[in-house]
């Protein structure tokens, strides 16, 4: 209760206090920060997916500026020889304002990434966006079959059907690519599973379907039980290395991450950066309220 209460009030604290918590999870405000962190991860045999922070914009001018930031990021990433790809949140490009504008911005970003033979992952946002993001993915996949992938969330009751509904896009030569995660947004009970075991059961059901159907998957979790169950499924289906990788968020469970790398599996870390770190941070904070009490202790008790 105490931790939850602190997590609820922390977003109203001055930003510089929140930054004390956030710097564990965010590489910094600039592209240079993202490059520094990415190179460090690469040196530990970890690939990255880089995200420019910024969601739920209010104007299409912001969408244009966000696109430009990604285009610059892509050039700089390959100039720096970073082993990475990119993650985008469609609402940052105007999905909820004008979906055509959003589609064209995301196409420009994918085209730029494709010019380096790279890849763009479309993050999945809250359930207001699910249909729109699936539709967007279908469209971009049509134009750039090997350069785009989608995130799916195991906590949504609809997800298994969404995955099976996209299998017409899967082929042996160009497999579909999903990132499978639990889901981070607070969704109504009518459409989402709430219990930890229930979410995990559906996560593994989705994962097994992907392995059986030779769909590429980024297994995005820090949950040790899921990681171990994924190992079992990988062994059961003899899944080749090119059809899966593990994924984690920057700053979360580095020991588990290292153990996965040491087991010889591919690991990719989500590296967020940007001036708009505040919204991202407070979401992470609500997700893990225990962190919040550590911050409070650090600020008020340890001075």
Ligand X SMILES: Cc1cc2nc3c(=O)[nH]c(=O)nc-3n(C[C@H](O)[C@H](O)[C@H](O)COP(=O)(O)OP(=O)(O)OC[C@H]3O[C@@H](n4cnc5c(N)ncnc54)[C@H](O)[C@@H]3O)c2cc1C
- Per rule CB under 6 A, is residue 220 in the interface with ligand X? yes
Min CB(122)–ligand X separation in Å: 8
Q: Is 257 in the site for ligand X (CB under 6 A)?
A: no
Q: Cβ contacts of residue 29 below 8 Å, gap of 6+?
A: 273, 274, 275, 277
Residue 134 touching ligand X (CB under 6 A): no
Smallest distance, Å, CB 253 to ligand X? Answer: 5
169 in contact with ligand X (CB under 6 A):
no
Written as one string, the DSSP assignment of 6-65 is HHHHGGGS-HHHHHHHHTTT---SSHHHHHHHHHHHHHTT-EEEEEE---S-SSHHHHHH
Question: Residue 77 CB: number of other CB atoms within 10 A?
Answer: 23
Q: How far is the CB of 261 from ligand X (least distance, A)?
A: 15
- Give me the residue label for tokens 């750039």: 144
Residue 127 interacts with ligand X (CB under 6 A): yes or no: no
Residue with tokens 């030779």: 214
C-beta of residue 21 within 8 angstroms of C-beta of residue 285: yes
Q: Is 181 in the site for ligand X (CB under 6 A)?
A: yes
Q: Report if residue 222 touches ligand X, rule: CB under 6 A.
A: yes
Report the site for ligand X in 61-120 (rule: CB under 6 A).
none
* Closest distance to ligand X from the beta carbon of 291 (Å): 6
**50 has which bridge partners?**
86, 271
User: In the bound complex, what is the minimum distance in angstroms from residue 39's beta carbon to ligand X?
Assistant: 19
The reply on whether position 206 binds ligand X by CB under 6 A is: no
Give contact residues for ligand X (rule: CB under 6 A).
123-124, 151, 153, 179, 181-185, 220-223, 247-249, 252-253, 270, 284, 287-288, 291
């Amino acid at each position: 209760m105490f931790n939850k209460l602190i997590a609820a009030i922390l977003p109203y604290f001055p930003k510089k206090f929140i930054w004390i918590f956030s710097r564990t999870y965010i590489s910094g405000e600039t592209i240079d920060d993202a490059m520094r962190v990415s190179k460090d991860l690469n040196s530990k045999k970890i690939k990255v997916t880089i995200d420019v922070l910024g969601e739920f914009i209010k104007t299409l001018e912001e969408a244009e500026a966000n696109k430009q930031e990604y285009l610059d990021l892509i050039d700089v990433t390959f100039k720096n020889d970073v082993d990475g790809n990119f993650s985008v949140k469609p609402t940052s490009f105007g999905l909820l304002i004008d979906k055509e504008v959003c589609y064209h911005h995301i196409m420009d970003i994918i085209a730029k990434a494709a010019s380096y033979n790279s890849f763009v992952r479309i993050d999945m946002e809250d359930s207001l966006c699910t249909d729109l993001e699936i539709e967007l993915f279908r469209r971009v996949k049509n134009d750039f079959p090997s350069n785009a992938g989608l995130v799916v969330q195991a906590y949504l009751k609809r997800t298994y059907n969404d995955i099976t509904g996209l299998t017409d896009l899967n082929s042996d030569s160009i497999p579909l690519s999903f990132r499978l995660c639990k889901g981070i947004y607070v969704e109504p009970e009518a459409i989402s599973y709430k219990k930890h075991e229930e979410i995990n059961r559906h996560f593994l059901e989705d994962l097994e379907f992907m392995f059986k159907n030779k769909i590429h998957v980024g297994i995005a979790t820090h949950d040790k039980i899921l990681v171990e169950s994924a190992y079992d499924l990988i062994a059961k289906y003899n899944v080749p290395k090119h059809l899966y990788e593990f994924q984690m968020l920057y700053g979360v469970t580095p020991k588990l991450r290292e153990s996965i790398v040491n087991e010889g599996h591919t690991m990719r870390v989500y590296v967020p950066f940007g001036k708009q770190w505040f919204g991202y941070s407070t979401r992470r904070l609500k997700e893990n309220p225990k962190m919040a009490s550590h911050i409070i202790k650090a600020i008020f008790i340890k001075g």
